[in-house]
Structures are given as C-alpha cells and as structure tokens.
Structure 1
Amino acid sequence: MIQSRIHNEGIGQPSQPRPLHLTQGQVFQGRIAKLYPQNMAALQVHGTTVTARLEAALTAGQRYWFEVQESAGIPRLRVLDDNAIRQREGLGDQPSIQKLIQQLSLPASKETEAFVRHLSEQQQPFTRQTVVSGSQLLTELQQFNQRGFQTLIEMMQRQLPLTKETFQAYQSLTLSPSLTQQLQQLSQMLEQSTHPATGQLRQLTAALVHPDQQAKPSPIVQLLAQFATEGEGDVSRGAGQLLARLGIIEAGASRSQLASQFQTAVLHPANREIVASLWPDLRSGQGAELSRLEPRQFLETMLGRLSIPAGKEGEPALQQLLQLLQSKEPAAAIHSRWLTLPQQELSASERAAFLQVLESGSPFAQEKGGAAKHLQHVLQLLGYQHERDVSRLLQGELTRETIVTDRVKAQLLQLQQQDLPAGLKEQVNQTLQRLTGQQLLAQEQNGPYQQLILQLPLTLGAWQTDMTVQWEGKKQQNGELNPDYCRILFYLTLEQLEETIVDVQIQNRIVAVTVYNEHESPDALINVLVPTLKKGLAEHNYQLLSVKWRKMKDAQASSQQANHLYKPHVHYQGVDVRI
C-alpha cells in the first residue's frame, strides 16, 4: 500500500544527512577517513565529514568508538578503544562491542549486545541511559527483535521520548491498518455500543467516514439542465452541441422543441412506470399541476428533481430518461461517448459546458471554500492540534466544550478512562495510538529546512481512502513555509487510477505539477483541464509551468533531484572536534 511505502521507503523524504549535534555523554562510532599534518584528520560520523585535531594515536581507514566529554565550543571526544588499547587487549583492528559494553558499565547480555550492535550498524549516536531505557522498553513490550530495534532508532533520530506510549504510537503507523480503516472499525463498534459515553464520538466518527455527500450526478442530466436554462450563453449553447455529439438530440434542435417533446412523454399514460421510477417522490395529483407549466419550465423543474448517479450505476435510470427523450441510443454507448469527448476537437462553448460539468461533479463543489476548507475541517475534527488547543484553553482562548466535544482525540482520551467492553477498549486505544503516531511524524525541522506530513481520511463519493499531504520548504521568520519556494506532495489511492502521487514544486511562484501513476496518461483530459488550472493559480498570483504524467518508479529519482532546492548546505571551516 502506498501509505506504508511513505513510512518505510520514505518516498518524497529528504535525503540529506541529519546535522551532527553532539551532546555530552554521547557515544558513537566514526571512521578516520584521512590523516593530515599537524595531527589533523578527517572524521566521518553519521554520514557527515568533520575536521578533527587528534590527541590520540589513531589509524586512517579504521573505525573507533568515541565518547563526547565536552560539547560546548569545540567538542572534545575521548577514544574508547584507541590503538594502544587494542594492542594491549589483543582486540584487533575492529572496535569491540563487548569491550564497549564493559567500559560503559552496561548489563552484559545478548540483548544489550544486539541492541548496541544495531545502533553501530545504523551509525546512531547514543548514551548509556539510552541503551538502558531502550532495553527496558523492548523487554517490557517483548520486542527485542529487528522491528523493535528499528523503531527505537527512528525514535532516537526524531528525538522522541523513549516511553511505552510513544513507542506504541510510533509503531502503530506501520503495524496497524490505515487511519481510515481504524476510524471505520471504530465507527462500526460505536454504532453497536449502548455505553452512554460513546454518543459524541459516534457522531464525530460518522461525520468522518460517512460524510453527507451525495453520489456524483450523471453528466448527461447536467448537460440537459444546462441546455434547458434560459439564455443563449456559451455554456447553454455548448451543452446543446455536446448533446447532439452524444446522440441524445438532433443537431440544431431547439430548446423549446426538446421541452415540448419531453413534457408530452412524461405526461403520457404509457410512461407512468418510467416516471414513477425516475421521480419516486412525485405525489399523486402533482401531474395535473405540472401539466399546467410551460414546456421549458416543466423541463427545468423535472430535471431539477431528477437524481441519476454517474457511471454504470446510473445506466438503467439513464436508459429510461433517454426513452422519454425519444433517443434510440443505449445508455452504455452514451456513457462511452462522454468519456471520449476530451479526445475530440471541441468548440469554445462545448469546452465551457464540459468543464462546468466536471467542476460541478467534484465532491467538494458544493462546500463553501472547496477542498481546502473541507481538509481544514477534517484536521479540526481529528484533533491533530489537541495539545495546542489545550494550551489555548488554559489561556482562555477556547472553551472546554469546544476541544472536548468537537475533537476525536479528546473523545478517545476520555473513553480510555471508561469501563468499556474489551473489543471497543482495544479499538479506542489503537485509534488513539494511530492519531498520536501521526502527530509525532507531523513536523520535522533540519536547520532552515522544514517538513510537515499529515494523513487524512478522504471520501470521494462512495470511495473512501487515506490522503497523505507532505509540505517541504524553508521556514520564514513568522514560522510559516515560504510559499514562493516550496514543495507539496499528495499521496493517495484512487478508485480508478489506484496508487497516485501528485508532486507540486514551486520556485519563485512558478508551479510545476507531476502526477505519478502506473496508468497511461489521459492527455486529452489534461489538455482540457490545464486552462482552468492556470486560471485558478493566476488568481493566487502563481504561474503554471507544466503538468507532466510519469510512471510511479520515477518518483524516487525525482524526489532526490528536487531536494537540493530546499536542503541546507553545511560548510565546515577550522576544527570541528578535538579527539
């Protein structure tokens, strides 16, 4: 799955080494890369090369254990196994893990040795207390294995506290189902629960996994509604031309002619079953009222009350509508022709009508503020900013009812304290761990470079999935990412296109969009949509440079090429450490 690949393989992750931050008491392994005159040397540590002044006998090309004795100013390192010690102890040229454990007074056990060896292989600096705390944690959780070691090392790299709760939350990102699946499972259990404390959380999870979104309407019905609208504008004229292309009406047919034929067909007794099927809410006796309407008004009214879903699901109802329109074309053929419209040479008015149908079919078309407002609302519902909201509560900026009643995380924390059935209790804990794990990974800063990652449940019609959004860029003085130079990546699994990555790179407000997907590029549709995208970006003072479609295998290479635009460059001068 694409979400696990984000975490495990780091698609789109920055590839530069983390800066070397030495603290007193740290132990790490480094290699003497090269010796220079006047006791100077190049030391390679954790993917970084630093300049060192040697105060001990060391050999170029060999690895040694170092301990940070002083971290202020120019750090001073102590060699724990220099050449003299190795010769005296008969240890050979390679550093000894057993000798290191002895020197640090660590418990002599196979588990400790395995943990320290893993730290060494990953070139991860550590302290004595880290090894002790990490070993105790892995023992308590019964995870003295490769997965447990790797989880601890990633936590150390992100400077997360080595606690049971943090470990479980972080590991839940790879061991548990996706966030959407967790919420779906929780919602199902809450629907069956009669516990009085579950009511509010039941409403919140239902709003996330079963949002009040109607099925995407049939584009044919939308075209008919456009054509039926009063006026001779481009959209109305283009809709009529597209209906003719699709074979629904005769070329050049007038709006009044279509309306009259349609009214006659709907009111004809022979079509009662079709009318009852298409308009089940039509009350008895309403037909007489509707018959008094002018044909054009009748057409607009009936189309406005018609609900036919898009795609194959709506084909039976569409076939009935075509019968009322006296079209002999089968619904399946009409649907196929609609899909091929972008590949045809469309007039300006046809293009306008086509785009309006596409835009009105968006799952966020009816929401004020569009997709951005919807995602912001989902973030708030989940409680990704719960801890910040608590701080604002203490400062009097929010009420307790707001952060407790309207946030999933706050409700989960409350339910943890309740006496719940075992299955529901476990699901509450797992969902809470998943949310907390996402918060732990949400933000990371590396010098001026900042990265923000969020995973959100997303509903597109009847399709439910997870969407991960990743922002990369340089942090400004106000704490926000620079909108002139940044990168945004969207990772999601779509119903038809399946695994998809959208990579948006912004340089001096010039936008380059690359879509990564294993399906063939829908060039015709892209060409139709690009003008709208350009217009939308221009309204926000951005300029579209390009829209490209690439295979998924090219995503990693592109990510590495883009990293130099944002990563900090570190130059060393003089002496960095003394050994």
Structure 2
Amino acid sequence: MDQLGFQTASSVARTQGKNALTLQKGQVFEGKIIKFFPNNTAALRLGSMNVTARLEAPLSAGEEYFFQVQQNDGIPRLQVLQADQAALKSGSADQAETAKVLQALGVMNNKNNQAMLGMFQSEQLPFSKDMVQKGATILQQANAMNGAGARLLATMNQAGLPMTLQTFQSLFQVEHGASLSTQLQNLEAQLQSGNAKTMSQAETSAVANLNRKLSQTMAMTNIESFSKTDTGNKLVQLMQMSQSAHAPQAVKEGAMTLLQKTGLVSENFGSAPWLSSFKEALMQPENRAILQNLLPQTFSAQNGVSVADMEPLELFRTVMNRLTLAEGEAGRQQLQQLLTLFQNADGQSKQVDLSSSALRQAMQMIQSNEGANVTTAQERQALTVLYQGTFTNESANAGGMSTIATQLSKLMQQIGMQHEASIAQQSTTSNQQTSLLSESAQEPLKQTLMQYMNQLPTSVQDTAETLLHRITGQQLLAQEQQGPLQQTAIQVPLALGNYHTDLTVQWEGRSQEDGSLHPDHCRIIFYLEMENLGETVADVQIQNRLVTVNIFNEKEKPDMMMELLQPFLKEKLAEQNYSLSSINWKNTEDETKHHKSVYESYSGFEGVDVRI
C-alpha cells in the first residue's frame, strides 16, 4: 500500500534535508559558496537550504567544496576536507581517487567503505566517518547496499537514532514492508495453519501464547460502528425509520419512498393491511424457523411475549428494532429471509433471490453521487438521519474521549506502541498496584513477540520478526520532535467490517506548558485507505478554533453525502467550541501529487535561513 499519509523514513530524510537540517561535528557535506561576509563568514547553499557558517580557509565564491564540521556551537566552523576536490566531486571516481577521500576521513580503504562513499555522494547526503564505517556493515548484513539503504542511514543519523542493524531493519519495514494490518493477518494465518504434531512442546506453547495475544489484538482492531454500516444494515435502518415511533413524519415518509425505489418492498409496505398480513405471516408455523433465525429468543416462552397479543405495528417495530444483521454472507441470508416474510405479507409465496450485487445496486440507486434518485425533501431528511447514525461517535468516559478514540488508545497499548514507556512507569509503581493489573494489560503484543521469538518454529520466526521490526520502526518515527513545532504520528491497523486497513494520524502544532498541542492552532492529517473510496487524505487545519478541511481523493466528489453531513459536522464541532469554515474535496491527480509532496515535508519552517 502506498504510504501516502505516513511520514516514512525516506520522507523524514527529505523533511530534514529541506527544513530542519542539523549538521554534526565531524560530518562531511558538499556546499556552494554564495556570498562572503566579514570575519571569514560566508553564506553557503546546501541542497535546497541557505546556511551561514565560519570558514577556516579562504575560498572562491561560486565554487563547490566538501566541508567538514569542526565545531558546532554558535556559528559552527567549517573546514575544507583535505583531499583532492575533483576526487570528492566525482560520482564515478576510480579506486585511487576514492582512497584519497577515505584517507582524509580516516577510514579504512576497502570495498564496503568505497561502496558506502559512492552511495552517499550519488544521493548527495551529508555523511560522517561513523556513518561510512558502521553503515557499510549494517547495509551488508541487511542486504541493502543501495541508495535506499544510504538514505535510511542518513535518516537514522539525522534523527539521532542508534546506528544499529535493528534500528535499520525497523525503519526499513516501515518504508518498504507490508502494512501493519497485512503483517498481523499474515502472522495469524501462519500460526493457525501450523501442524502441532511436528512441533516440540516448547514450540507448541509459544505458538499458543502468541496466537492468543494476536487474536486479542485483531479483535481490538474492529471498529464496531463500521460493522453496522454495510448495505444490508442500512436497508434495515431505513425499514426501522419508516415505522419508528420517534422519527418525524417527514423522515418516515422519506424512508418509505426510498425503500420502494429500491424495488425490495412493495407499495403496500407499512400500510395497516400490510402490517396485519405481516403479523399473520409471522404466526404461520412454516415461518417460525425464519423468525428464530432472525431473532433467536425474542419470542421465546421465558420472556412472556405472545405474538398473538401484540398489535401489528407494535410487532413490526419489535422485530425491526431487535434485528441486527450479521456480517457478510450470513447477514445477506438473514435479509433475504426477512424480505421473504415481506413477500408473504404481500400474498406472494416466491422466495426472494437476493444476491450481494443486487443489494449494492439497491443502495447505489438512492446513494448516487449526484443524488438523482433522491427527489424530495423527505427523502433527503431520511438519508441525513441514516448517514448521521453511521457516524455516531459519542463520548465514552468522563474525560471526554469518544468511543473510537478510546478504542484506538487501547489498541495502541495492546500493540505495544508505548511498551518501553510502560515498563519505565511500572518500575515506579508498587508491587501491590502492579499485581492488580491484568496479564493482558501488562503484556502487549510487542512483549509477547520478544518473549517467544526464539521458541517459535523456524517457519514462523521470520514473519514474527518482521512484525516486531515494523512495530519498533513505527515507534521510532512516531517520536515527538522538539522545537517551536511539535510533531507526533501514529499508525494503527483497523478492521472496517471485513476490510482491513491502516489508519495514520499526524499532528503538528505548538506545544503548551504541559506538553500538549495548543488546541486553537494546529494541523491534523488523517490517511486511510478504504474499500470503496480508496486512498483518502483529510487535512484538517485549525486557526483560532476555525476549522478548514481539505479532502484528497481520486474518486468523484460525493456531493449529496457531503451536503447532508456538513450541518451534522458543524454541530458536533460547535459542541467542542470549534467553528467549521469549509470542507473542500480535491480529486485531480495533480492536486493529489501536490498534497503528497507537501504532506511528506510539512515539518519545520520552509524558506528560513538556518545557521549551522
């Protein structure tokens, strides 16, 4: 999956190269002299940035040199690397010329170091003696002696990350590996397909423990509200609205006509004679099995409910309000049985032949982008209620966190995104308090992976290790960057019904005294790949609590849905003391590419000279 919305390792390198460059003592880079100032100070051009530094030797304006940082306090001092400049600038230098460069750095002249030097030069990356020496060993062990590997090393050095093979592999998985949701599914499939008869006792125990923890994690990725928004449940919700005791009359009428337009119900649906016939159909012995499948225990003897004693409208509302379709094929079959009862109420005995494609066509008929089939105000009101029910996300606790936000927070803990921080916190917690925590709360998936890694069957170890690297890599890249702007990124796997994807959220804003982002002025960017809409980026910009939303997607703008939901969004924002300025849908390819480049390099201050 294209990591359009995630600040990957290479995007971090591009960001730092453009906006937040920090040169370290001993580092080497190529720069061009632009202008001289008094006291041996000069303006240099380094890539796309203007920098100011004090030079140790008289040089010529307009020329390019390789500089080495001698001191980085205040205005750092730079020294021209004592080597043949032609050799340094040559991307195709022969071994003799490369040897002069390595000698100037104080690095051993061997094939690996020669290859590393060539890659740093071709990629125009600042490098150091340590990066050449350790980098060559790391890239060789990781089988990544190429430009992409060199860029990852530069990212590690620039971010101050340990120059180790494990750090490199972790960042590599985020940059080039499969999505987190895919890796979780792959490991789950491998664990469940293993042959216990061929495993040792230790392997069997390790597989069982990891599989149990992985199953817990996968269960937490399911966003409940999305599991109830498939086509079948939307149709059921329209049926419920059409006869609701609480819905306004206009909404009830709109839901009724929308259902009739699908062709799945007759014109008599919901009338008094039809409701009486529906009750008679439910009481027929041949339909009892259908009712028990749709609503097990609803009319069982122990709850004292008698179908015969209920009024037809009351009975219909009871059936519809207690009905929740299962997911996937099972839900489609339940809906088919329900529509069969509806046909019996119309005096028809033929069973409904309802395919998945027919279900989609039924909803597409009333959910077309232009809303051509939604012709009345009542129908638009009914659809508004339907959409708003889809996006309900109420507060789940006294702290004001919504249901989904609370779920995502727990999921991050379950995966192990705060694993190391939790260990540090537990070390300051009394043994009595720690004992009150459940085992699952104390042990996230990351810890379980590390604990049982060496005991797993060889066929599973590679997949488990890849997942572990992926989690660690995301932890490294999610670390907040200090300075005038604070940046934080998270990525979590989600299951939207039967569709698995990753959600990425990035925050940027100024820090408050308590370390949190200032809520009046910040930027939040969401990236999500969805089953129908595909890759979607929502760029939310907040200035003085005024919210502007830019949505980037290659599909055609869903005018009707946006029109119906915008008042709902404005209302929910107002409850949090925010005002909605505008929502803009941008779907041209050029705008998407432009946004991608902006998004990957949004940190820091562009166009600002930096002293090095």
TM-score (norm 1): 0.84
Superposition deviation, residue 524 in structure 1 = 0.9
Find the counterpart in structure 2 of residue 389 from structure 1: 422
Find the counterpart in structure 2 of residue 209 from structure 1: 218
Find the counterpart in structure 1 of residue 132 from structure 2: 131
Letter in 2 for 1:399: T
Find the counterpart in structure 1 of residue 77 from structure 2: 76
Find the counterpart in structure 2 of residue 322 from structure 1: 342
Against the structure 1 CA distance between its residues 407 and 514, is the aligned structure 2 distance closer, same or farther, given a 3 Å change threshold?
same
Does residue 413 (structure 1) correspond to residue 450 (structure 2)? The answer is yes
Unaligned runs of 5+ in 2: 92-96, 197-203
1:238 aligns to what SS in structure 2? helix
Find the counterpart in structure 2 of residue 293 from structure 1: 310
1:489-500 equivalences in 2 (<5 Å): 489-500=525-536
Letter in 1 for 2:342: L
- Separation in 2, partners of 1:264, 1:380: 53
Find the counterpart in structure 2 of residue 357 from structure 1: 386
Against the structure 1 CA distance between its residues 488 and 317, is the aligned structure 2 distance closer, same or farther, given a 3 Å change threshold?
farther
Superposition deviation, residue 93 in structure 1 = 8.5
- Separation in 1, partners of 2:362, 2:56: 83
Superposition deviation, residue 325 in structure 1 = 4.6
Letter in 1 for 2:555: H
Q: 1:218 aligns with which of 233, 241, 246?
A: 233
Superposition deviation, residue 240 in structure 1 = 3.6
Against the structure 1 CA distance between its residues 166 and 184, is the aligned structure 2 distance closer, same or farther, given a 3 Å change threshold?
same
Letter in 2 for 1:531: P
Superposition deviation, residue 180 in structure 1 = 0.6
Superposition deviation, residue 479 in structure 1 = 1.6
1:518 aligns to what SS in structure 2? coil
Superposition deviation, residue 447 in structure 1 = 2.8
Letter in 2 for 1:65: F
Find the counterpart in structure 2 of residue 302 from structure 1: 319
1:138-177 equivalences in 2 (<5 Å): 138-177=139-178
Superposition deviation, residue 68 in structure 1 = 2.3
- Separation in 1, partners of 2:597, 2:41: 33
Q: 1:557 aligns with which of 591, 594, 597?
A: 594
Letter in 2 for 1:289: S
Does residue 519 (structure 1) correspond to residue 547 (structure 2)? The answer is no
Superposition deviation, residue 419 in structure 1 = 2.0
Against the structure 1 CA distance between its residues 421 and 271, is the aligned structure 2 distance closer, same or farther, given a 3 Å change threshold?
closer
| Count of aligned positions | 565
- Separation in 1, partners of 2:396, 2:89: 68
1:534 aligns to what SS in structure 2? helix
Find the counterpart in structure 1 of residue 434 from structure 2: 399
- Separation in 2, partners of 1:100, 1:206: 54
Aligned CA-pair RMSD: 3.9
1:10-29 equivalences in 2 (<5 Å): 10=11, 17-29=18-30
- Partners of 1:502 and 1:515 within 8 A in 2: yes
Find the counterpart in structure 1 of residue 501 from structure 2: 465
Letter in 2 for 1:219: K
Letter in 2 for 1:204: K
Letter in 2 for 1:326: D
Q: 2:579 aligns with which of 525, 543, 548?
A: 543
- More deviation in 478-487 or 558-567? 558-567
- More deviation in 131-140 or 304-313? 304-313
- Separation in 2, partners of 1:396, 1:467: 32
1:49 aligns to what SS in structure 2? strand
1:297 aligns to what SS in structure 2? helix
Unaligned runs of 5+ in 1: none
- Separation in 1, partners of 2:307, 2:39: 100
Superposition deviation, residue 327 in structure 1 = 9.2
Superposition deviation, residue 413 in structure 1 = 1.6
- Separation in 2, partners of 1:93, 1:282: 81
- Separation in 2, partners of 1:284, 1:139: 69
Q: 1:507 aligns with which of 543, 556, 569?
A: 543
Find the counterpart in structure 1 of residue 406 from structure 2: 373
Superposition deviation, residue 162 in structure 1 = 0.9
- Partners of 1:200 and 1:405 within 8 A in 2: no
Find the counterpart in structure 1 of residue 46 from structure 2: 45
- Separation in 2, partners of 1:223, 1:93: 70
- Separation in 1, partners of 2:523, 2:389: 28
Against the structure 1 CA distance between its residues 11 and 356, is the aligned structure 2 distance closer, same or farther, given a 3 Å change threshold?
farther
- Separation in 2, partners of 1:42, 1:137: 35
Against the structure 1 CA distance between its residues 145 and 13, is the aligned structure 2 distance closer, same or farther, given a 3 Å change threshold?
closer
1:506 aligns to what SS in structure 2? strand
- Separation in 2, partners of 1:18, 1:467: 26
Against the structure 1 CA distance between its residues 562 and 421, is the aligned structure 2 distance closer, same or farther, given a 3 Å change threshold?
closer
Find the counterpart in structure 1 of residue 94 from structure 2: none
Q: 2:281 aligns with which of 256, 265, 273?
A: 265
2:576 aligns to what SS in structure 1? coil
1:75-97 Cα shifts (integer Å, max 9, x gaps): 22222248xx76xxx97997965
1:2 aligns to what SS in structure 2? coil
Find the counterpart in structure 2 of residue 432 from structure 1: 468
Against the structure 1 CA distance between its residues 201 and 346, is the aligned structure 2 distance closer, same or farther, given a 3 Å change threshold?
farther
- Separation in 1, partners of 2:319, 2:427: 55
Find the counterpart in structure 2 of residue 239 from structure 1: 252
Percent identity, aligned pairs only, is: 32
Find the counterpart in structure 2 of residue 3 from structure 1: 3
Find the counterpart in structure 2 of residue 339 from structure 1: 367
Superposition deviation, residue 384 in structure 1 = 0.3
Letter in 2 for 1:152: L
1:181-226 Cα shifts (integer Å, max 9, x gaps): 1111222233356622444542332233345755545223223323
Letter in 2 for 1:42: A
Letter in 2 for 1:242: A
Superposition deviation, residue 542 in structure 1 = 1.0
1:218 aligns to what SS in structure 2? helix
Against the structure 1 CA distance between its residues 15 and 326, is the aligned structure 2 distance closer, same or farther, given a 3 Å change threshold?
farther
Against the structure 1 CA distance between its residues 72 and 308, is the aligned structure 2 distance closer, same or farther, given a 3 Å change threshold?
closer
- More deviation in 512-521 or 192-201? 192-201
- Separation in 1, partners of 2:110, 2:275: 87
Letter in 1 for 2:569: L
Against the structure 1 CA distance between its residues 337 and 281, is the aligned structure 2 distance closer, same or farther, given a 3 Å change threshold?
farther
Against the structure 1 CA distance between its residues 477 and 345, is the aligned structure 2 distance closer, same or farther, given a 3 Å change threshold?
farther
- Separation in 2, partners of 1:38, 1:132: 35
Against the structure 1 CA distance between its residues 399 and 303, is the aligned structure 2 distance closer, same or farther, given a 3 Å change threshold?
same
- Partners of 1:513 and 1:547 within 8 A in 2: yes
Superposition deviation, residue 513 in structure 1 = 1.3
1:546 aligns to what SS in structure 2? strand
Superposition deviation, residue 342 in structure 1 = 4.8
Superposition deviation, residue 175 in structure 1 = 3.4
- Separation in 2, partners of 1:412, 1:28: 40
- Separation in 1, partners of 2:327, 2:457: 42
